[in-house]
Amino acid sequence: AEEVGGGDKEVVREYFNSTGFERWRKIYGDTDEVNRVQKDIRLGHAKTVENTMLMLTEDRSLAGVTVCDAGCGTGLLSIPLAKEGAIVSASDISAAMVAEAEMKAKAQLPSENLPKFEVNDLESLSGKYDTVVCLDVLIHYPQNKADGMIAHLASLAEKRVILSFAPKTFYYDILKRIGELFPGPSKATRAYLHSEADVERALRKVGWKISKRGLTTTQFYFSRLIEAVPM
C-alpha cells in the first residue's frame, strides 16, 4: 500500500480524477454495470441522501435557502436540493466529478435552478451559507485532519451543518469488508473511520451541537448522519 501521510489530499484528488472516478461514477449511477457489493453501496448511499433531504425539509421549505454541498461527487444531493428550490453551491476536489455532476444537473434542472459548480477542495471554500452539507467525504480524512475540516465547514454555515461519515463502531465489520470497497489499485486511498464522539467534540469546540442523528447500514455501507446547529 502507498504511504499517504501528508500527501493524502493529492492522492485523493488523483484517485477521484481517474480509477476512483470510474468506480464511483458507476456506483452513483443507475446502470447495471455494478457488482453486488457496488449495488449494495449504491442503495445505502441513496438512503443517506434520502435521509439528508428529510432532515432538510421536514420542518421548513428549502426555497431560497443557500446550501453548500462540499465534496458534491456526481451531484446526487445537489440535484434534489436544487429541485426543492435551494440555491446550491456544489464543489469537489475532482474536476471529473464536478463535470459529471454538472452534466447530470443540466439534464434534469431548468437553467435558473442550476447549482453553481466549482472545482475546489473544501478547505479552500469561503463565504457564508444557511446550510453546509458534506456527505461521505470524511472517510478521506485521518482523525488529525478531521477536526480542522469540520471546523472549517462549520465556519461557512449560519444555521446548520449536516455531515455523514463511516462510524468507528462498525470498525471490525468494515475492516472485514473494506477490501471489497477498495479493490485493486484504488486501495491506495485509505478509508478513515470516525467515532461519533470525536465528531461531536470537534463541533462542540467551535460552538456547534448535534441536533439530529441518523444511521444508514446495509451489508457493505455504514454511514452515520448528523445535523448540527449553533450552541
Q: Does 92 bind ligand SAM (CB under 6 A)?
A: yes
Binding mask 149-168 for ligand SAM (x = CB under 6 A): --------------------
Closest CA to 168 of 135, 210, 138, 123: 138
State yes or no: residue 118 binds ligand SAM (CB under 6 A): no
Q: Is residue 73 within the footprint of ligand SAM (CB under 6 A)?
A: yes
CB of 177 to ligand SAM, least distance (A): 16
Q: Does 9 bind ligand SAM (CB under 6 A)?
A: yes
Q: Give the binding range for ligand SAM (CB under 6 A) out of 8-16, 104-112, 181-189, 192-200.
A: 8-16
**Least distance in angstroms from the C-beta of 58 to ligand SAM:** 20
What is d(CA 49, CA 62) in angstroms, rounded to the nearest whole number? 15
Q: Quick one: which H or E segment has residue 128? A: none
Stretch that binds ligand SAM, among 32-40, 68-76, 102-110, 214-222 (CB under 6 A): 68-76
- Residue type present at position 218: T
Centroid of chain to Cα 142:
15
Q: What DSSP state is assigned to residue 207?
A: T
Q: Which residues contact 89 (CB under 8 A, 6 or more apart)?
A: 66, 67, 68, 69, 115, 116, 118, 127, 129
φ/ψ (deg, to 5) at 12 = -65, -45
Q: Residue number with the shortest CB distance to ligand SAM?
A: 73
3-state secondary structure 65-97: CEEEEECCCCCCCHHHHHHCCCEEEEEECCHHH
Q: Is 140 in the site for ligand SAM (CB under 6 A)?
A: yes
Contact 94, 70 (CB under 8 A): no
- The residue within the footprint of ligand SAM, chosen from 68, 90, 105, 137 (CB under 6 A), is 137
| CB 8 to ligand SAM: min, Å | 9
Please, which residue, 118 or 130, has the CB nearer to ligand SAM? 118
Binding residues for ligand SAM, how many (CB under 6 A)?
Answer: 20
Residue 116: closest CA among 94, 134, 98, 132: 98
Task: Report if residue 71 touches ligand SAM, rule: CB under 6 A.
Answer: yes
- Interface with ligand SAM includes 72 (CB under 6 A)? yes
Where do contacts with ligand SAM occur on this chain (CB under 6 A)?
9, 12, 16, 24, 28, 71-73, 76-77, 92-94, 97, 121-122, 135-137, 140
